[in-house]
Structures are given as structure tokens and as C-alpha cells.
């Protein structure tokens, strides 16, 4: 398409699951499944590869409060294993599942915005060196 699109903030488009180019189409066809392309502007989402990035960030940030809650329950209230499971289990699910989609959208939109590509090795003779 020849149409010019203004740069859109990855935070505004990605977190809301919108196309990083036009801001109107959708990124996802399921909870975490990326569409093949934007239904509005036709942007091919083949460039997008957030891999395990969203899961890594969620695990890093959600595990700390979950562990702190579990330790607090054990030390302050001498909670049984069943109390631990029924309190920290839902807490862990609530701190892990909801942030996955916005984080994945933000990472995909950031890849588009910053034109991120797979790393390539540069040989000395290709770079003009002798």
C-alpha cells in the first residue's frame, strides 16, 4: 500500500492489541494467537516474533509478590499447605495470565516501531574492510 502511516506509540497500540501501523486493526485472533495480517491496513504480521518474552517478564514480575505472599502466610499465620494452595494459587494465576496479552502486544508493536530484525553476522569483507 502506498498510504503513509504516522508512527504510533507501541505502548498505546500494543497494550490494546491494535495494529502497530494503522492503530485500527487487531493483532490477535485469540487470547495469544497473532493474526496473519491486519484486517484494516493489510500489514503482514510475519515480522512479529516475541518468542518467550511475555512469559519471561510475567514470571519475573509475578513470582516475587506470589513468593512474598506465600512466605508471609507461612510465617505470620502458620498456614497449612491447603491454605497456601487456595490462596497463593489463584493469586499466582491472577498475576500471570492477565498481563500476557498486553505484554505480547507491546513487544510485537515495539518490534514494528523500532524495525527490529533477527541479528546477522557481518563479515569483514562485506563491511568494506580489507
Predicted pLDDT of residue 5: 93
Band the pLDDT of 122: cuts 50, 70, 90: confident
Residue 96: exposed, middle, or buried by beta-carbon count in 10 A (0-12, 13-18, 19+)? middle
What is the predicted pLDDT for the residue at 125?
61
**Rounded CA gap, 71 and 77, in Å?**
10
The mean pLDDT of the chain is 91
Q: Where are the domains of the chain?
A: 10-113
Q: What is the value of pTM for the model shown? A: 0.81
Average pLDDT on 105-128 reads 81
Amino acid at each position: 500500500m502506498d498510504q503513509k502511516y504516522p508512527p504510533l506509540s507501541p505502548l498505546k497500540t500494543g497494550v490494546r492489541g491494535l495494529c502497530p501501523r494503522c492503530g485500527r486493526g487487531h493483532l490477535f485472533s485469540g487470547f495469544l494467537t497473532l493474526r496473519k495480517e491486519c484486517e484494516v491496513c493489510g500489514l503482514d504480521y510475519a515480522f512479529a516474533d516475541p518468542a518467550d518474552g511475555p512469559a519471561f517478564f510475567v514470571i519475573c514480575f509475578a513470582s516475587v509478590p506470589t513468593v512474598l505472599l506465600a512466605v508471609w502466610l507461612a510465617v505470620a499465620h502458620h498456614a497449612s499447605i491447603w491454605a497456601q494452595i487456595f490462596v497463593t494459587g489463584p493469586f499466582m494465576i491472577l498475576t500471570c495470565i492477565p498481563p500476557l496479552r498486553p505484554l505480547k502486544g507491546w513487544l510485537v508493536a515495539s518490534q514494528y516501531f523500532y524495525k527490529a530484525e533477527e541479528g546477522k553476522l557481518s563479515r569483514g569483507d562485506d563491511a568494506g574492510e580489507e
